[in-house]
Amino acid sequence: MIDLKDFEYDELMEFLTEQGEKKFRAEQIFSWLHKGIRSYEEMTNISKATREKLEKISYVSTLKIREKYVSKLDGTVKYLFELPDGNCIESVVMRYHHGLTICISSQVGCCMGCRFCASTIGGLYRNLTAGEILNQVIFAQEDMGERISNIVMMGIGEPLDNYENVVRFLHNVNHEKGINIGYRHITISTCGVVPKIYELAKENLPITLTISLHAPNNEIRDKIMPVNHAYKIEELLKACGVYAETTNRRLSFEYSLIHGVNDSEENAVELAKLLRGLHAHVNLIPVNRVEERDFRKGSAGDIRKFQNKLTELGINATVRRELVSDISAKCLKIRKNKS
Ligand code: SAH
């Protein structure tokens, strides 16, 4: 069966004309789908005959909210969404001064193997479809009762390892007849799948690319991020440069500070040297504890020292707001119970 949300707008139009429908139906049906209807019956301006015809060959996918946590500390909402096949994924909605930002997942599990990351512990189960990626935005927005204005692909999974569905999703979520979120309000985070960075650059969408760097040299990165065995830092930065040049977007790097592994003053100096001239912004993230791993974060003082060193050496660095502790622990537990 076909999930109509897996189609891009033009493909939906083609599909509908093949079914003997007029082209303008595409606009109506696309809008309904992206408004979050749960059945064809809700498409009130579409004839019963058409709805019945569509129902025989396709369906409208949905996501069930299996658990929802609202932080008492800052209102951040964490959803555990259940997919039609029973697998679960997480999405998080955060409130910033410019509006609501959603952090979404791109895969069930992940095969990238970053040592400090909980999502990769059980390996990759499967890719999310374009419709499933989009549904996180649709149903979180519906539940929040408020427009979501920004998207970051920083949840479970490696977006560039599910390239085709992610690009399909990007086109759809940006479409003016759908949710219509501007590309400039969308960020994709990658651990550095270099060939796909070049491919994404060719799409020439002005989305922000953020690189999970986490190390100032290959020696450290090899130890904590297996992807570095395939693509060394030099190759990665070269691809980033091409991306920035093609899309005219500033680059951003994530750097999780792991105590005793990558957070010394020497590491900061080396990182600054590496990123000099790239006009990059560095997001420092105190590493979140994962039960199965023994990585620890440094003290607030250590983190500030690292940040100050970068700033002193001309690299723009901020410390990212941590996922509030009262809800982050809960989801890790559920994920483990599922596996
Ligand atoms: N696969 C993509 C996106 C998902 S992870 C990527 O690697 O970028 C989103 C970010 O959280 C990445 O920078 C990732 O390295 C980081 N991250 C994962 N586990 C973490 C942990 N335990 N503490 C801090 N950051 C973590």
146 carries an active-site annotation: no
Which pLDDT score, from 0 to 100, does residue 47 have? 95
Mean of pLDDT values over 168-191: 97
Sheet arrangement for strand 148-153: 64-70, 77-82, 88-96, 99-103, 148-153, 186-190, 208-212, 252-257, 281-286, 316-319
Which pLDDT score, from 0 to 100, does residue 292 have? 81
Confidence of residue 294 (pLDDT cuts 50, 70, 90): confident
Which pLDDT score, from 0 to 100, does residue 147 have? 97
Report the residue count for the chain.
339
Mean of pLDDT values over 240-259: 94
CA-nearest residue for atom 14, ligand 1, is 212
One of 90, 132, 158, 254 is an active-site residue; which one?
90
User: 154 CA to middle of ligand 1, Å?
Assistant: 7
Cα atoms found within 13 Å of the Cα of residue 119, Cβ hemisphere only: 24
Does the pLDDT at position 222 exceed 90? yes
322 carries an active-site annotation: no
Does the pLDDT at position 327 exceed 70? no
Taking a C-beta distance cutoff of 8 angstroms, is the pair 79, 90 a contact?
Answer: yes
Which pLDDT score, from 0 to 100, does residue 73 have? 85
- Tell me which of 160, 189, 213 to substitute to probe ligand 1's pocket, judged by most ligand atoms within 8 Å of the beta carbon: 189
Which residues have any ligand 1 atom within 6 Å of their CB? 114, 116-117, 154, 158, 189-191, 212, 254, 256, 285, 287-288, 290
Taking a C-beta distance cutoff of 8 angstroms, is the pair 2, 55 a contact?
Answer: no
pLDDT one-digit tens code per residue, 3-31:
999 999 999 999 999 999 999 999 999 99
Q: Under DSSP, is residue 41 helix (H, G, I), strand (E, B) or coil?
A: helix
Taking a C-beta distance cutoff of 8 angstroms, is the pair 194, 201 a contact?
Answer: no
Taking a C-beta distance cutoff of 8 angstroms, is the pair 284, 255 a contact?
Answer: yes
What is each CA distance from 31 to 89, 102, 138, 178, in whole angstroms?
25, 21, 12, 5
Q: Under DSSP, is residue 224 helix (H, G, I), strand (E, B) or coil?
A: helix
What is each CA distance from 211 to 19, 44, 98, 143, in whole angstroms?
43, 44, 23, 30
Mean of pLDDT values over 55-78: 94
Q: Under DSSP, is residue 19 helix (H, G, I), strand (E, B) or coil?
A: coil
CA-nearest residue for atom 21, ligand 1, is 288
What six digits make up the tokens of 115? 């040592």
